[in-house]
Chains A and B, each alone.
Chain A
Amino acid sequence: MSSQKQDEAKTTIEDVLEKPSSRRKFLKGASIAAAAGSAAVAASYMSAADPASAGELKLRWQEYFKKNYRIMSQEEKDETVTRLERLAKMQDNVDVQIGNEPPVEKVLFGYAFNITRCEGFMECVTACVKENNLDRKTNTQYIRIFEMEPGQLDPSTGDGQYYHKVPVDDKFYMGAQCFHCEKAPCIKACPTKATWKEPDGIVVVDYNWCIGCRYCQAACPYYGRRFNWGKGEVPKEEITTKQHYLGNRKRPMGKMEKCTFCIQRTRKGKLPACVEACPTGSRVFGNLLDPDSEIRYVLKHKKVFRMKEEIGTQPKFWYFID
């Protein structure tokens, strides 16, 4: 990349981040149709068709005009999570705690998956759905387990929709989810800078800044991103109430979402829900910058490989064999 091009790129980022109006400017520039789309989003957001109290309308109004999470001050972050908690109470009558824990210093999260051990039980998938409040109506899942023929290592050749007793003899199982690439093409694709990599390596989405254009999904070479077609319907008694702004909080309709390494858990030292649920211990998670961590042991002592290594996306998700 030439330095001139780099400068250009930099200005665009600054434009988008610092001028609140440029998100709309982008849409205008891209196409009139898209601008119309954005208007529709705005209208739906502010729609007063349902009876809402003045207090709720005020909160929604303030929510609509907030900044991108990345340039919010700590005070603004605290304000928005408080607003969101109050809105959850008003709209759905649920008591949620939305955190905004910052990344832990000297931590870079990494993940390893043992393809010799996984037996395809998919308990990780159900745990993830529950933890991250995924839409039950469309059966959204961040994790996909592929049943693979021996010798194959590309999940696209496997069966991602099996339903029979597992493990099947002579098959093996391979999990895929967002790999939190160090050089993530999805981030470059986003026209509104609604998705980025946090210092602890987690690739996140600001659900309020996302316009639902799905460019990032098209750019992801893996099976990382999920588009939220619905309202995220979760039975009230099943809602995970410990949430994070960048994690499992309620997503507005028409936004992009994906695995966040359970940011609401892992920033507090807990394991992601999938790791905790895995009955075979195929999932290893930890701090890549800790030479004594389990993940580093795997990287040092096991034969590891990553999916589509050659395209240079540098996923922080390694497969390994015993």
Chain B
Amino acid sequence: MASMDAFRNNVRDWLESNCPESQRQPIIKDQQIWAGRNRSFYCYDSKLWFERMRDKGWTAPTWPIEYGGGGLTPDQAKILEQEMKALGCRPALYDIGLWMFGPALLEYGTEEQKQEHIPKIVRGEIRWAQGYSEPSAGSDLAALKTRAEDKGDHFLINGTKMWTTQGDKSDWIFCLVRTDPDAPKQQGISFLLIDMANEGGDARPMELINGDHEFCQTFFDDVKVPKKNLVGKLNDGWSVAKALLKYERNMMSIMSSIVEKEEGDIVEIAKRYVGTDSSGILTNSSVRSQLSLHLMSAQADLWSGIRLYEQHKKGLSDGGLGLTMKYMSTTEQQRKDELLLSIMGNQGLSWQNQKLSEAENKSVKNWAYNKAHTIAGGTSEIQLNIIAKKALNLPS
């Protein structure tokens, strides 16, 4: 206990003297520090903050020190997270490799693979993309067709991946590919790491309903990949993918908390758009009631997260609570978005409205973008299927 308090004090002191003032403001999307060969910083402070965190290994607080990580215990990492939150420190690095792929590689990779990739992730030198989905393989991921042919010293890749987040800006992509077309669906799949700089790879952005171009269709046309880039056993990629899934759920909650901070305070927006009486009470009682229900539910979802953590820490089973989190937080986010839009009336119908503040314009854009939350990373319907089976033991 005492040593934890001492740790907390050290962390706080360190953050206070090392996190520049400008990096203690709520993060906005354009100022995020994404990993990669072409990494860029919007200002000197953000570079400084990133480098200081990187050098302590705190970009990946719980990863082993030998690979450049922070070597913290889960409890220590929680303290770091709490102290960063308390000071309002921005995350020092954004990367799918950091959130999803790295943890899975630490679990499944060979020593050589870890040596090659993990330090670069911690140091933000490589940006990773996820290559799972395909035009005809979405929820039914195991229907994927991208082919990896064994050519002796390398695999030859042909096929198309869909939805590759930031595919055009990523350096490497971790892919599920078919290595045995004759085996039953899930058994002929392998997990392969592909350098996007390779000849024959091409990521083309697709435009989304909010005008963003973050997602790509990625084409592989006779791309050569060395054998050492196979993670896990040949034809056993499904196990690696399943392990990775649990980190993906974490990522979804990180993502929605980022969005949260970009928006204006919904209570203030409501006051401005629907009006208040002389004592500051919203004059539209229906909006007021919907607002309360949203804030209450969002609050309770946070308590669920803490309860989940406390249960895990005590070594108790979570009774299925963990499986509910993605469905609940993404659904609630969309409820909020719809409420916000209706509160703003005709002002909420454009995302280039000169009369709106930047935060308000963002809210409208997010309303459209956040429709993706209940689709990406396993649709809501798939989540409900899983809950029915795993948490409720309903027959199939």
Are A and B genuine complex partners? no
